[in-house]
Amino acid sequence: MSAEIDQRLADLAARLKASPGEGSDRAHRLRLAALIADRDEMARVLAAPKVKPTVPPGMPIGDDGEY
């Protein structure tokens, strides 16, 4: 079972690397392929604490307060 999962992950990484694309889409696919291929890096990323993005205080721009 483990060998089958490993092979499917390797196939997925290969497809991600081979997929066409430009800019941030391509960079994202390459990063995912690298994570799939490197178990230590994937474990490190998954173990990292989840950080919520900072939201600035106040109402969103363009909200006039009418509900």
What confidence tens digit (pLDDT) does each residue in 54-64 have? 777 777 676 66
Tell whether pTM > 0.95: no
State both tokens at 64: 């006039």
Cα Dmax for the chain: 58
CA dist 6 and 34 (Å) reads: 14
Name which of 10, 33, 7, 9 is nearest 21 in CA terms: 33
Domain boundaries, the chain: 2-47
3-state secondary structure of 26: helix
Q: Mind listing the pLDDT tens digit for each residue in 30-40? A: 999 999 999 89
